[in-house]
Amino acid sequence: MTPQSNEKRPLAALLVPDLLELLEEAPESLGPQTEEMHPADLADVAEALPEASVRAFFAALGKERAAEVLEYLDEDLRTQFLEELTAREAASIVAEMNPDERADALEELDEETADEILSELEPAEKAETERLLAYEPDTAGGLMTTEFVSVNEDLDVEAALSSVRAMARAGRREAMYAIYTTDILGRVRGVLSLNELLAAPEGARIADLAWSEVVTVSPNTLQEEVSQLISNYDLVTLPVVDEDRRLLGVVTVDDVIDVIQEEGTEDAQKFGGMEALEEPYMQIGLWQNVRKRGGWLAVLAVGEMLTASAMANYEGEIAGVPMLAQFIPLVMSSGGNSGSQATSLIIRAMALGEVRLGDWWRIVLRELPAGFILGLLLGTLSVARIMAWQAMGLYDYGQYSTRIAIAVGISLVGIVTFGSITGSMLPFVLRRLGFDPASASAPFVATLVDVSAIMIYFSMAYLMLSGRLLN
């Protein structure tokens, strides 16, 4: 990421005063005046309005347009808006939404309100929405829309094209780019793009034009796999099929982009050592902010208290050579830093499918020499620092300054190597145990490595100084 030039457009802020006047004086002119605006921009406008005017704004837009704008609206505001309406009013608006967006909107409401709205929908819409609501939100079924284009494979080009045109005229807005061909039982047999259909010679049979190798998923496929498939195969839509390969719906690329961004955010927050937030940072309250962070902080602090117990064993060394304490932060943080580097590399490689569980030993073979060389680098630096301070008279480490320097240097080699291996293996261990490897946060790794770093450091100091400064 490089510095960004796009500060959020101030469009919404500028419009608000004019808009409030318009809503007051001539609400009927809102629709015509905004008809060329993208619903995402109108959603920004709605979010900038005072709460009391939101309802009037959507009423003035009209149901169909309101439904479009709701798809882009902040989830909390959408939930609040829908809950303020009567079930009948809400139903008349959500009925205009795409089926997948409608299910998402109802998912956010409390169950009773959602049920009331559902019961006001047309039976077919109600059944379709209930079917979508039954899938877990983080699966292909939870992401898919049931609006897709399929034609019988026995049609010819012109017949297929007019069937597609009829569907387009019936108001299909989404997922028109891929056309799935099905047999008489509705099973997916092939796929072709709308432009391949347009390019096809008249009279050709669709079955002969379509690609027979169709990448499909089941409704229970996890969203991570869905996004990897769409990304690997450069798909615009991915079909979701049942056990008999009958088409249930399609996942569209725009929903997958949202998934990829959400996961990036979740992974970043977890790696920072906290639970993932459910909402954007600026929208969470103090309590959620504290709760999502406090759990891990407390667990890590308790873990870090082990270092106090570990150090209690070295009290003699510290009392004898207090200056040893000066290098505790250096050896600890070097272990933690090398560990968090290794962890971030592996978590990301796992998220992108570059590294599998069985690859753990390959990683060890890579991290062992890398950690050793990095340790040598830091060890050399530290020896140089201590010797330089001693030589320049900036600090007096006493007659055994060289031995102290060597103790710090050698322990750094061990600690950085150990940190790199621990950091790279932690995501494997977590995943093997069925946890999310992204829970291997930088603070988690650092805490794991800290206790060992203290032990390595003081053992080395004992070795170098016993019988001299220490007894």
Q: Is 391 in the site for a copy of itself (CB under 8 A)?
A: no
Q: Is 344 in the site for a copy of itself (CB under 8 A)?
A: yes
Place of tokens 């909107």: 105
Least separation in angstroms between CB 364 and a copy of itself: 13
Site for a copy of itself in 410-429 (CB under 8 A): 416
User: CB-wise, 17 or 169, nearer to a copy of itself?
Assistant: 169
Size of the site for a copy of itself (CB under 8 A): 146
Site for a copy of itself in 291-320 (CB under 8 A): 293-294, 296-298, 300-302, 304-305, 307-309, 311-312, 315, 318-319
Least separation in angstroms between CB 31 and a copy of itself: 15
User: CB-wise, 112 or 202, nearer to a copy of itself?
Assistant: 202
How buried is residue 318: exposed, middle or buried, by Cβ count under 10 Å (0-12/13-18/19+)? middle
Q: Is 381 in the site for a copy of itself (CB under 8 A)?
A: yes
Residue 416 C-beta-side C-alpha neighbours within 13 Å: 23
Least separation in angstroms between CB 120 and a copy of itself: 28
Residue 443 tokens read as 């603070």
Q: How far is residue 220's CA from residue 177's CA, in Å, rounded to a whole number?
A: 24
Site for a copy of itself in 67-106 (CB under 8 A): none
Site for a copy of itself in 32-71 (CB under 8 A): 36-38, 40
Residue 145 C-beta-side C-alpha neighbours within 13 Å: 20
Q: Which stretch binds a copy of itself (CB under 8 A): 12-20, 107-115, 370-378, 463-471?
A: 370-378
Q: Is 13 in the site for a copy of itself (CB under 8 A)?
A: no
Q: Is 152 in the site for a copy of itself (CB under 8 A)?
A: no
Binding residue (CB under 8 A) for a copy of itself from 135, 327, 360, 428:
327
Least separation in angstroms between CB 131 and a copy of itself: 23
Q: How far is residue 65's CA from residue 82's CA, in Å, rounded to a whole number?
A: 15
- Name the DSSP class of 358: G
Q: Is 359 in the site for a copy of itself (CB under 8 A)?
A: yes
Q: How far is residue 446's CA from residue 469's CA, in Å, rounded to a whole number?
A: 30
Could you tell me if 191 and 183 are in contact, meaning their C-beta atoms sit under 8 angstroms apart? no
How buried is residue 271: exposed, middle or buried, by Cβ count under 10 Å (0-12/13-18/19+)? buried
Q: How far is residue 64's CA from residue 151's CA, in Å, rounded to a whole number?
A: 28
Pairing of strands 149-152, 178-182: parallel
Tally of CB atoms within 10 A around 433: 8
Binding residue (CB under 8 A) for a copy of itself from 52, 195, 399, 467:
195
Report residue 410 CA to chain centroid gap: 40
x/- string (CB under 8 A) for a copy of itself, residues 163-182? -xx--xx--xx--xx-----
Tally of CB atoms within 10 A around 28: 9
Least separation in angstroms between CB 26 and a copy of itself: 22
Residue 39 tokens read as 């619903």
User: CB-wise, 134 or 305, nearer to a copy of itself?
Assistant: 305
Binding residue (CB under 8 A) for a copy of itself from 22, 60, 85, 351:
351
Binding residue (CB under 8 A) for a copy of itself from 129, 216, 334, 411:
334
Binding residue (CB under 8 A) for a copy of itself from 273, 409, 414, 456:
273
> CB-based contacts of 105: which residues, under 8 Å, 6+ apart?
70, 78, 79, 82, 94, 97
Least separation in angstroms between CB 13 and a copy of itself: 13
Q: How far is residue 406's CA from residue 398's CA, in Å, rounded to a whole number?
A: 14
Tally of CB atoms within 10 A around 346: 25
Nearest to 65 by CA among 45, 35, 92: 35
Q: Which stretch binds a copy of itself (CB under 8 A): 51-59, 112-120, 239-247, 374-382?
A: 374-382
Q: Is 14 in the site for a copy of itself (CB under 8 A)?
A: no
Distances (CA, A) of 187 to 193, 246, 368: 18, 4, 52
Binding residue (CB under 8 A) for a copy of itself from 49, 151, 248, 347:
347
Q: Is 257 in the site for a copy of itself (CB under 8 A)?
A: yes
User: CB-wise, 117 or 153, nearer to a copy of itself?
Assistant: 153
For residue 470, the cross-strand partners are 466
Q: Is 256 in the site for a copy of itself (CB under 8 A)?
A: yes
Binding residue (CB under 8 A) for a copy of itself from 76, 289, 429, 466:
289
Q: How far is residue 445's CA from residue 103's CA, in Å, rounded to a whole number?
A: 40
Single-letter amino acid code for the residue at 376:
L
Q: Is 196 in the site for a copy of itself (CB under 8 A)?
A: yes
Could you tell me if 323 and 404 are in contact, meaning their C-beta atoms sit under 8 angstroms apart? yes
Q: Which stretch binds a copy of itself (CB under 8 A): 79-87, 124-132, 277-285, 399-407?
A: 277-285
Site for a copy of itself in 201-240 (CB under 8 A): 211-213, 215, 221-222, 224-225, 228, 230-236
Least separation in angstroms between CB 421 and a copy of itself: 14
